[in-house]
Amino acid sequence: MKVSYYPGCSLDGTAIEYNKSLQSTARCLGLELQELPDWTCCGASSAHVTDDKLAVSLAGRNLLIADKMGMDLMVPCAACFHRLKSADKALKAGGSLQGLEQKYQGHFKIKSGADLIWENIGERALAAKIKKPLAGLHPVCYYGCLTVRPPKITDAPDPENPMAMDEIMRTLGAEVKNWSFKADCCGGNIMLTHPELAKKMVKKLLDMALEAGADCIVAGCPLCQSNLDTRQREIMDENGQPYHIPVYYFTELMGLAYGDPQVENYLNKHFTEAKTLLKQKDLL
Amino acid sequence: MAVNKRLKGGSPAPVTRQTIENLSGEQISTCYQCEKCSNGCPMTFAMDIAPHQVLHAIQLGLTDEVINSDTIWVCASCETCTTRCPNQIDIAHVMDTLRQLSTQRGVKASQRKSPIFHKVFLSNVKKLGRMHELSMVAEFALKAGGIRGLLKQSGFGLKMLSKGKMKLIPERFRGGKEIDNIFREAENKK
């Protein structure tokens, strides 16, 4: 199966392990990711705060490329996903692109990484490739805001209770914990401008994950993962309370279950030590 | 309420409810103050005006109050309010419109980091086509916090670099003339 692929700027940098683990997992599942040639930034949060048309056009430029490829488009970053879906809806409702000449048709679906894997590959094929079930691991799945909200943009069937990562992790043998914070905000959008507020939100999520009995958090967004993973030391120092909760990309754990030999390299890039837990569970 | 209008050449045109409705395309008048937006909002603890009060203030024409509020910059754009509004008001989009108005009129000093961030981010994209994290964050830290701000971020940046999570040098320019054209049209509108 072939799909087009928009990695986005973070997956080229701070979330390089998400990109690599996703590509490797896709290969293992026979999912061919065709990267949009010469893709550019989706405009992220800064474009829509500044100018509505600029936001539609920056995202729209990439939609025009995907249009030519004519396949379902995988967008692993929640913020990019949200911007591309917003532009898609705006253009289909008659909105225009500034500075770009082509017409947009939009005969393809835009999906987040986890949704595309769960919907297009399916449970049976995901289970068939397992070499090492994730037995004994108790994750909570964390989706954050922008793959689910608002449903008029994301087309999420249940924006209050997304399930794709839960289903994938359950299929791989993990004992997924339920919690009420899977789509609560981590403050990713304001981490650089209001770090003191964003860290309060991260702390709440870490506390709630622990309260749910989780031993790790599974994320599917580079900003969520980065926020939850890289700020634990600061939160610990500021609150005098120990935090040590590994935050995995769901694709890293898929790689683990499918025997990807590079998983350890991905985990070395995390700020919060992420290998000990997996070794304790005989998974690494 | 302290209003910081740093405008050249006289006072700006008054902003009414109608102005904000026209710019955002949202029917703010339909809000009946059920407060679902504020009850679901994860940021109210840091807001000076709760989201339902923002809508109420706009209905009453108290637009200076909302344009100069902390709320519009503290809002994390999580879209919970938009998702839950029973009157289909895209409240997060109203926040965008208010930020745009605030940026045009002069953002108060205590919230100046946000417009600096967005400006730096977009200029990075304009220059490179793709956002280069290291130069974007460094420029933001310097412009928002001076040398001290840059130094504060540098430890984090070095750790990112040492883990191979940030590229030191940006890639070649992406997007060709199209990116130039998109930004030129946006600037011409102003």
Mark whether A107 and A166 lie in a shared domain. Answer: no
Mark whether A108 and A139 lie in a shared domain. Answer: no
pLDDT along chain B (190 residues), means of 10: 48 89 97 98 98 98 97 98 98 98 94 97 96 96 95 92 92 89 89
Picking from A230, A225, A212, A211, the residue whose alpha carbon sits closest to that of residue A273 is A230
Picking from A54, A61, A10, A8, the residue whose alpha carbon sits closest to that of residue A188 is A10
pLDDT score recorded for residue A82: 98
Q: Whole domain around residue A73: which residue ranges? A: 2-113
Mark whether A171 and A61 lie in a shared domain. Answer: no
Domain boundary among A113, A143, A158: A113
Mark whether A196 and A276 lie in a shared domain. Answer: yes
CB pairs under 8 A between A and B: 162
Q: Which residue among B96, B160, B186 places its CB closest to the CB of A48?
A: B96
Residue A12 lies in a domain: yes
Helix axes A78-92, A222-230, angle to 10 degrees: 150
Query: What CATH number should be reported for the domain holding residue A58?
Result: 1.20.1050.140
pLDDT score recorded for residue B10: 59
Domain boundary among A63, A79, A113: A113
Name residues of chain A where pLDDT drops below 50. none
Q: Which two tokens stand for residue A234?
A: 């600061």
pLDDT score recorded for residue B173: 86
Model-level ipTM above the cut of 0.90:
yes
Alpha-helical (H) ranges within B17-132 are 17-24, 36-40, 51-59, 63-67, 71-74, 80-84, 91-105, 113-128
Residue A194 lies in a domain: yes
All residues of chain A having their beta carbon less than 8 Å from the beta carbon of residue B165 are: 13-17, 269
All residues of chain B having their beta carbon less than 8 Å from the beta carbon of residue A185 are: 42-43, 76, 78, 80
Q: How far does B20 lie from chain A, in Å, by closest CA?
A: 14
Residue A245 lies in a domain: yes
Mark whether A69 and A186 lie in a shared domain. Answer: no
Mark whether A82 and A167 lie in a shared domain. Answer: no
Q: Are B42 and A13 in contact (CB < 8 Å)? A: no
Chain B interface includes A53 (CB < 8 A): yes
pLDDT score recorded for residue B4: 46
Do the strands A73-75 and A110-112 form a parallel or antiparallel pair, or are they unpaired? Answer: parallel
Query: What CATH number should be reported for the domain holding residue A143?
Result: 3.40.50.11810
Q: How far does B81 lie from chain A, in Å, by closest CA?
A: 9
pLDDT score recorded for residue A63: 98
A97-134 pLDDT, tens digit each: 999 988 899 999 999 999 999 999 999 999 999 999 99
**Total count of domains within chain A:** 2
Mark whether A45 and A156 lie in a shared domain. Answer: no
